[in-house]
Every structure is written in C-alpha cells, then in structure tokens.
Amino acid sequence: MPIAVEDVGTPATSGRIVPPGTKSGVTLIELLTVISIITLLVAMLMPALNAAREAARGSGCQSNLRQLGVGLQSHAARQKQFCSGAFDWTLDGCVTEYGWVADLVNSEIPVGTMLCPSNPAKIARTYNDLLRLNTPDPCSCIDVNRQFVGTAPETLPDGSEAIQPCWKIVKDSVPAYATTGDARHTLVSEQLYDEHYNTNYTASWYLVRGGPKLDGSGNLPAAPGGCTPSNPAYLGTRCATLGPMTLDSVDAAALGSTFIPMLGCGGTVPGELLAAPIGGEPQGAPVTQSMTGGPILRDAATGASVETGVALQYPKFNAGASRDGAIGAGWWATWGVCLQDYRQFAPVHRGACNILFADGSVRNFVDEDKDTLLNNGFAVNVGGFKSDTIELPREEVANGWSLKEKAR
C-alpha cells in the first residue's frame, strides 16, 4: 500500500512525507540548534553591550567633570583662586566651609550627586575622620579653634542656632557627638552626606596646594608643632605650600591652562576602608584619596627615586645649600628633576582615567601597561610602576615642581 503524502500545502509541511494521523512539530535536535545559536549570539553581544554601558558611564563622568570645572572657574572669577583647599577635614578644615567641595556645594552645585559612575569607590576618605575622630587631631598647619571647627554658632532670626557639624563634633556639649556612635553617625549622615558634601574625584596637588614654599636653602619650612601621623607627606599640608591655585599662578605658568590638571577619577586609599555604613555605602567600602602627592625626587639619568619605605620623597638639603649648581648640588636643579606624583588618579574606565584641566577641558588617559597606575616618567618598579611606559606625557600634563617650572 503506498505511503500517504500530506497535501495541506503549509510552508512547514509542504512536500514532507508524514505518516497518516500524525502531526508535524519541532524536533529535539532543531530545538537544541536554535538554543545554541541564541546562546552564541548573546555571548557575542555581551562585550558590545558592556562596552556601550562603560562608554555611557565614561561620558557621564566627563560631563560631571566639565560641570565641576565651570564651578571652579566661577569661584576663581569671584575669589581669584580656584578653590579654598582640599576636601580633607584634618588637612584643610571644616568640610562644610573649606575645600573645593564646600566651595561648590555652597554655590548650590550638588557635588555629592556628581560622582564618577565607573569608580567602585563612592565616598571620600575624609568621612573616616568625620565618623570616628574622637579628639581634635588636625594638621598643625590649620587653626584648630577656627578652621578645624568652622564658624561659631550663629543665632538665626527665628531664635534657632545654625551650628556647623564639625563644631558639634569637637565643641558641642552633647557627648554623643564627640564619640563614635549613633548620634555622631546620624549627624554626619544628615548634615554632610545628605547635603552632598562628598566626592569620588581626587584633586590635583596643583589645585589645592599650588607649589612648595621654599626657604633660601631650597627646603620646605619647618612644620609648626610637627605633623600628625595622619599626614604621611609634608607636601600635602598647607603650611608647606603656597596655597590653592590662583588665576595669577595659572597665567604665569610655564605650561598653559590646557595642561594643568585640577580633578581626576579618584584612586582608593591603600589599606583603608570605610569605618561605618553611610548613605548607600556599606562598612568596608573603598574610600578615595583627597589629592595627588605633589613633586617627587627622581634621578634625571636613571629615573630612579629616593624612597623611604613605600613613600616617595621630595628633595631635602643642608642648611645654606646653594641655589646654583648641578643636580644634587644646586637646589634649583635638583627640584627641577622632580615629577608630580599622580598615582592617586585611577584608570577606572576600562583602564582609562578622565582628568579635568584648568581650561575646562576633560581628557582621557589610558593605563597602557595595566598596572592601575598612570606613569608620568618614573622608572620600572619605582613607586609600584610595573613598566616605564609613559602614560601621562610631560608635553600634555604639567609635571614640574611648581607651575612656573617645566619638568626636566
């Protein structure tokens, strides 16, 4: 008896030999083939999707930096200096009154909402001091009774008092604020974090310190009362430097404003994590550096640096050292082979870092050797650099010991 052939004529069955009384369908092999093709397509698309997401985050970061740059330029137009210092309670003072973050927030720019979206660290290191500093322990370079605590309480027209949170922590009669606990945590959360006094961008040393303050022997001035353990590098303090960058210092710079960095994606502080949960950040979250390290001594011939432990050092001379002379003899030439320490900037955008410059531009710099550091001229194995590949060229980023001097 001949086998029946369906003559329904549908695309799925036309021309197929089907036993009488059976229905056509998708076989297991066909189903597995379709699933395999879909899986392969998804695998091929995921890198492109991730790259698109990171490109969007990178664009968002650049937009944030440009807006922050506009705010700093506006501050400079009013005050002749780009900011009042770093976002650092112990080094610069009350963070609601001093530092570039306070300058912008008090001009109604919500800095804490303008974070680098790619940076895994979402909170500044100074929050650890705000959360757990039990006794006044500021840098000896700032005024403990004014700068560190902020403006004294002010009576408002309705009879209430306006009291700075740093003042409450240090001077308020309520003991709970002076020690780590719920009241202190609530104070910091509500009056600092919730009011947008936060950032995960790192300021350049040029922006917040300007340049070293040298005596006739090429040395930094002695620190009044010494430096506290919280200040690992004296060049990070205010009394060792000229103060925040000014319009005049930019106009007189050896390189134009296009090459002077102000802010960049912030690197994390090695070995330090957030002391307590705050906002959406859990305890143990990474925290960002407040500023870059300033000028570091290197040998002009070899690129080697003078090191003490893990800390790269700035030049030091005997009293009466001459300004004139070759490297190692004259202090001017020796400072001249210093390079800025930019290890506190971080390549968080798939191996790249966004940096804001004094002319308002934002440029992207790639960590070519993937050591998570941006090298501007140091030798391999110095300061953690895994190669001598230059990722911050001196012709594109200012590197001298002061804005008036080019790195040599």
| Predicted pLDDT at 307 | 47
Write out the two tokens for 118.
């790619």
How far is 78 from 253, CA to CA, in rounded Å? 20
pLDDT in tens, the chain (408 residues): 444 444 444 444 444 555 555 555 678 887 888 888 888 887 777 776 666 676 787 899 999 999 999 999 999 999 999 999 999 999 999 999 999 999 999 999 999 999 999 999 999 999 999 998 866 667 778 888 889 999 988 887 887 888 889 998 888 766 667 777 888 999 999 999 999 999 999 999 999 999 999 999 999 888 776 554 343 478 888 988 999 999 999 999 998 999 999 999 999 999 999 999 998 899 999 999 999 999 988 766 555 555 444 446 788 888 889 999 988 889 998 899 899 999 999 999 999 999 999 999 999 999 999 999 999 988 887 788 899 899 999 999 999 999 998 887
How far is 293 from 206, CA to CA, in rounded Å? 10
Largest CA distance in the chain: 119
- Phi first, then psi: give them for residue 303, nearest 5 degrees: 80, 0
- Phi first, then psi: give them for residue 317, nearest 5 degrees: -135, 160
Given a contact cutoff of 8 angstroms between Cβ atoms, the answer to whether 351 and 336 are in contact is no
| Predicted pLDDT at 5 | 44
pTM of the model: 0.84
- Phi first, then psi: give them for residue 292, nearest 5 degrees: -75, 175
Burial letters 182-200, b for 16+ CB under 10 A, else e: eebbebbbebbbeebbbbb
- Phi first, then psi: give them for residue 362, nearest 5 degrees: -125, 125
* Element at 311 (helix H, strand E): strand 311-312
- Pairing mode, strands 201-203 and 261-265: antiparallel
How far is 312 from 232, CA to CA, in rounded Å? 10
